Structure 1
Amino acid sequence: MDTTFPDLRKYGGADAFLRACKPRTVLDIFTGKWTGLVMGALLDGPRRFNELRRMLDGITQKMLSQNLRTLERDGLVTRTVYPTIPPRVEYELTGLGHSAMGVLRAIGDWAGEHADDVLTARQTYDERAREPVRAV
């Protein structure tokens, strides 16, 4: 098999192009629409569910629940239930979650710097797509 990329497996390294690659599995955490936003909302400290829901314009209750559950499962968020009536539940970034924020901040910075470029490219593409196909 001839590939453009070196096969790192023969050197004991990971190959993110393989389905079972551990780093690829972990990278999947950050590909969701809401993951970075949920984590960003927790950056300043613990928050309750409804507080997060109010902060994250457009997220549904179901999607927020799913994201928090996944982030907790992956060790990026902790869920603390306080024994009050009714129970008070707070979500907070773990040390692992805080360590991932550097990467997410960099992506957010890039998005802020290049949002206009991307939106212009989309508009140009959409305009071209509406044009009739011409024979060459």
Structure 2
Amino acid sequence: MGKLRCEYALSLAFSYVHNDNDYDYIREVCLYVIGWIGDSSCLPLIKDKLTNENNLKIKIAAGSAMRQIFWRSPNCQYEVLCLLKDVYYSENAESIKWRLIELISTISGKNLGMKESKNDPEILIGDIDKAIIKTNKFLATI
């Protein structure tokens, strides 16, 4: 659906992504659709999922959706980085913090010390302590 850029698909994704009664897999796919079809106006919704969602896979999908919007609309880089900065400083779960570092690194083009494994995108590689220091220094400049 994402490659079709279908507005109907986007409206369907919006309706299902908010429904906590649906299967988490459907909500996860909806976030990917929003990432591929949506634009910067979708970023607050995605930030909400990154901040308030309890399901780790949904949070990761929200981060991926944010990255997808950036790839299609590089002019929203600063806006995306500011949103990720807010989420980064409000997040306590280490596994999400590591993902956020990887996202910030990808979107900023800075080597912050965390990257996805080439063999398995579920695995992050890097020294988390050094990555946190680098990320904090970088985010202080935004």
Query: TM-score if structure 2 supplies the norm length?
Result: 0.23
- Higher-Rg structure is 1
Structure ranking higher in helix proportion:
2
Structure 1-normalised TM-score?
0.24
